[in-house]
């Protein structure tokens, strides 16, 4: 069942207009097969369930064109059989929030799609141009579902325990998950129920639908990393709306990169998860200066904990994939780096194991659920004074001027006597400039049309690039020190020495450029003051 025209209530700062199509609002939790019945029994005993529920066998086939045009457009098309009934469903991935998806359902007479029964004009591209015979079965799911209804004072939720398999050709994966689907009431209820169920056993926030898992299995492709998009901020927004928008953007990027980071197939997954966490921490740091909300302080501590676990994996990726590769490309023919590269692999693998353990950790999953709950409830409104409430009601452009000016002043202060800064002082400056960059990206839609905006961002980017090289060198020294403790191989030590020497010569050569980029940045007009 779906909710039509936002009758479940508006998701805080996320869906700013009533949706044009029915919307499914759902939260997915992953659980080990051995714990599924334990948590189900806990839910039946502890939650206000209507009855013991129903058990159904659900068989579904997902269809697409040979080139996956539906999946590329963020759509899925399935036909599901439950008993003697067949239902075709089209879903569209949401880019606005973590819970909702547009959904269209129609009955069909067999286990094959009927495009004529769908509201093609409403769904849109690419259905208008797809011939029925072009649709092919891509994968199937076979699920045993035990579902029951939970009736709360302000919400009604269907809790479904799914156990089964997703199958694509010769490949298959187990399904063991809990779906919480909102039938009526506040979306925040789903996060509250998720946190309640975690008391019964370890659960993980599910970030991939069954359809996404099926497509990954069918194509044998690793999940791709996701970069941050535009905040889509509007000048008419008040600060309260902007915070909800920014928080939702950060949440979306964190959730989208958990699986890519965990898989370890592409270093970009770790990188974008780290970026997402830094964006969230920057936002919370900005808010701390004017909105001292206890709920945000707790989120900031958990985000820092997760970011620290991701950091070493990213450092090893950069050293192996960028630092060593760059030196090898320079053609130092009398030094062999392959042994050094091989020696790094166990360290990198161990750092990825730390990331996987952290992503599965109950504390982190409670943090992810608490983050979603904070967004839906706008918890930053709680336990604050009247002066702070006034800040939340003011136009966002006024807030942006104060926030950007505060970070820029801090950067200028940290960069005084720039040429004499010690490595730790440059590191602090670099981190502050990152905060400035992320803050600028949050507020960028307010200023994107200004010529001075492009110039400022370009100069900031160039300065960050050069300071980033400095930081990579400092990080490399720490990595090399760790490697030296584990080997006496003279060839490895020779390669390590070559890395240090190469980086030092490069650092000396870049000194004038670094000074030049700092001077250009400090003389850039502050576009937000215009």
Instruction: Indicate if the pLDDT at residue 228 is higher than 50.
Output: yes
Q: How confident is the model at residue 1 (pLDDT cuts 50, 70, 90)?
A: very low
Question: CATH for 239-529?
Answer: 1.40.20.10
Instruction: Indicate if the pLDDT at residue 128 is higher than 70.
Output: yes
Instruction: Indicate if the pLDDT at residue 385 is higher than 90.
Output: no
3-state SS assignment for residue 56 = strand
Taking only Cα atoms into account, the Rg of the chain, rounded to an integer number of angstroms, comes to 26
Contact call for residues 262 and 246 (beta carbons, < 8 A): no
Give the rounded percent of residues in the chain with a pLDDT score beyond 70.
Answer: 95
Q: What is the pLDDT of residue 124?
A: 93
**88, β-bridge pairs:** 79, 106
H/E stretch holding 55 reads: strand 54-64
Q: How confident is the model at residue 387 (pLDDT cuts 50, 70, 90)?
A: confident
Overall CATH class of domain 23-219: mainly beta
Instruction: Indicate if the pLDDT at residue 499 is higher than 90.
Output: yes
**139, β-bridge pairs:** 62
Residue that wins the pLDDT comparison between 288 and 179: 179
Contact call for residues 245 and 232 (beta carbons, < 8 A): yes
Instruction: Indicate if the pLDDT at residue 17 is higher than 70.
Output: no
In 3D space, the residue among 291, 293, 227 whose CA is nearest the CA of residue 254 turns out to be 227
Q: Considering the chain, tell me which residue range(s) the CATH 2.40.320.10 domain(s) occupy.
A: 23-219
Instruction: Indicate if the pLDDT at residue 361 is higher than 90.
Output: yes
3-state SS assignment for residue 142 = strand
User: For 455-494, what is each residue's pLDDT tens digit?
Assistant: 999 999 999 999 998 889 999 999 999 999 888 999 999 9
Alpha-helix runs per DSSP H in 7-131: 33-46, 69-72, 120-123
Average pLDDT over residues 90-111: 90
Tokens in use for 153?
Answer: 């004072």
Instruction: Indicate if the pLDDT at residue 90 is higher than 80.
Output: yes
Question: Which regions of 120-203 does DSSP assign to beta strands (E)?
Answer: 136-151, 155-168, 171-185
Average pLDDT over residues 163-179: 97
- In whole angstroms, what is the distance from residue 224 CA to residue 269 CA? 7
- In whole angstroms, what is the distance from residue 143 CA to residue 468 CA? 49
Q: Considering the chain, tell me which residue range(s) the CATH 1.40.20.10 domain(s) occupy.
A: 239-529
Q: What is the pLDDT of residue 391?
A: 93
User: For 429-466, what is each residue's pLDDT tens digit?
Assistant: 999 999 999 999 999 999 988 889 999 999 999 999 99
- In whole angstroms, what is the distance from residue 4 CA to residue 474 CA? 55
User: For 233-257, what is each residue's pLDDT tens digit?
Assistant: 998 999 999 999 999 999 999 999 9
Q: How confident is the model at residue 289 (pLDDT cuts 50, 70, 90)?
A: confident
- In whole angstroms, what is the distance from residue 121 CA to residue 119 CA? 6
Q: Are strands 171-185 and 75-82 parallel, antiparallel or unpaired?
A: unpaired
């Amino acid at each position: 069942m779906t909710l039509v025209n936002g009758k479940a209530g508006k998701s805080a700062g996320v869906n700013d207009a009533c949706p044009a199509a029915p919307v499914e609002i759902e939260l997915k939790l992953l659980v080990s097969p051995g714990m599924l019945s334990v948590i189900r029994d806990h839910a039946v005993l502890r939650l206000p369930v209507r009855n013991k529920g129903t058990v159904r066998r659900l068989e579904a086939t997902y269809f697409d064109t040979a080139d996956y045009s539906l999946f590329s457009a963020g759509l899925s098309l399935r036909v599901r059989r439950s008993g003697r009934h067949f239902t075709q469903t089209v879903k569209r991935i949401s880019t606005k929030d973590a819970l909702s998806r547009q959904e269209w359902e129609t009955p069909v007479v067999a286990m094959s799609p009927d495009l004529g029964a769908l509201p093609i004009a409403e769904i849109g591209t690419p259905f208008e141009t797809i011939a029925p015979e072009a649709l092919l079965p891509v994968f199937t799911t076979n699920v045993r579902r035990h579902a029951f209804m939970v009736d709360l004072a302000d919400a009604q939720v269907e809790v479904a325990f799914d156990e089964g398999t997703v199958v694509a050709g010769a490949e298959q994966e187990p399904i063991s998950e809990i779906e919480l689907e909102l039938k009526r009431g506040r979306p925040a209820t789903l996060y509250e129920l998720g946190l309640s169920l975690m008391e019964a056993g370890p659960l993980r926030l599910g970030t991939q639908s069954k359809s996404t898992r099926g497509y990954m299995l069918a194509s044998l492709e690793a999940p791709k990393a996701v970069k941050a998009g535009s905040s889509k901020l509007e000048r008419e927004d008040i600060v309260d709306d902007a915070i909800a928008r920014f928080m939702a953007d950060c949440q979306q990027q964190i959730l989208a990169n958990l699986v890519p980071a965990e898989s370890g197939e592409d270093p970009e997954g770790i990188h974008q998860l780290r970026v997402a966490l830094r964006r969230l921490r920057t936002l919370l740091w900005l808010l701390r200066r004017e909105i001292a909300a206890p709920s945000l302080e707790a989120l900031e501590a958990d985000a820092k904990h997760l970011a620290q676990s991701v950091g070493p994996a990213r450092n090893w990726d950069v050293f192996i994939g960028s630092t060593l590769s760059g030196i090898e490309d320079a053609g130092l023919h009398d030094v062999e780096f392959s042994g050094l590269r091989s020696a790094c692999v166990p360290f990198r693998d161990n750092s990825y194991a730390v990331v996987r353990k952290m992503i599965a950790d109950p504390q982190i999953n409670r943090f992810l659920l608490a983050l979603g709950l904070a967004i839906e409830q706008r918890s930053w409104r709680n336990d604050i004074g009247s002066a702070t409430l006034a800040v939340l009601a003011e136009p966002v452009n006024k807030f942006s001027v104060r926030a950007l000016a505060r970070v820029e002043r801090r950067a200028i202060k940290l960069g005084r006597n720039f040429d004499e800064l010690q490595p730790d002082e440059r590191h602090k400056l670099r981190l502050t400039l990152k905060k400035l960059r992320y803050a600028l990206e949050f507020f960028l839609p307010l200023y994107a049309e200004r010529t001075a905006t492009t110039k400022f961002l370009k100069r900031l980017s160039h300065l960050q690039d050069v300071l980033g090289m400095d930081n990579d060198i400092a990080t490399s020294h720490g990595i090399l020190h760790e490697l030296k403790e584990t080997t006496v191989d003279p060839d490895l030590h020779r390669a390590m020495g070559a890395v240090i020497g190469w980086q030092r010569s490069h650092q000396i050569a870049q000194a004038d450029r670094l000074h030049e980029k700092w001077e250009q940045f400090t003389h850039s007009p502050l576009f937000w003051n215009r």
